[in-house]
Amino acid sequence: MSLDATLLTRLLQKDVNAFEQLYERHSRLVYGLVLRILHHASTSEEVVQDVFLQLWRNADHYAAARGPFVPWLLTMARNRALDHLRRKSERQRRLEDQTDQLPAVFAAPDYEHTLDEKRRAERVRALMASLAPQQKRAIELAYFEGMSHTEIAAALKEPLGTVKSWIRNGLLRLKEGLQQQAKT
């Protein structure tokens, strides 16, 4: 019997530890799929929580005879993400229907805001380029690839404490650089 099958059997008995292990094993994979569909981190995190809550409540809906657990879990995650998109689309359509009834209001483009965002992005890129290569890579893996510190340490073949220090010190340098530039 596979580890997932064993954990699911325990989950059917409402074993919290089994649930935690399933979450730890598969949440990053589920999050990656949901994020690809929704393109929004905080919304994706909410959907992942919904998926695992649904798993907790409905673990008995999984039938091993119909296929492996992970594709079933990913299908459930995909469906939840698509449901979220449909609800969002429906809300947007209703909002547009309502705004059709309102008088048209013209707003001038906010060039200053756009320019500020562009300058801020350039400052962050410049500050990232000024970091030591290992700090830069560790931060990129953590924030752009969604890897945990443990995964980064394994990928870079460095001790976990070293990776944590690189990330912490790199983020502090970024913060200080942004604060200094904000004062000027």
Domain boundaries, the chain: 3-96, 111-183
Rounded Cα distance between 104 and 169, Å, is: 50
Between 31-35, 90-94, 178-182, the lowest mean confidence (pLDDT) is in 90-94
Whole-model pTM: value is 0.50
Burial class (CB in 10 A: 0-12, 13-18, 19+), 60: exposed
pLDDT above 80 for 4:
yes
Q: Is the pLDDT of residue 115 over 80?
A: no
Amino acid (one-letter) located at 141: L
Per CATH, domain 3-96 is 3.40.190.10: no
Q: Of 38 and 182, which is predicted with more confidence?
A: 38
Q: Do domains 3-96 and 111-183 have the same CATH topology?
A: no
CA distances from 80 to 7, 72, 116, 176 (A): 22, 12, 36, 40
Q: What is the fold, at CATH topology level, of the domain defined by 111-183?
A: Arc Repressor Mutant, subunit A (1.10.10)
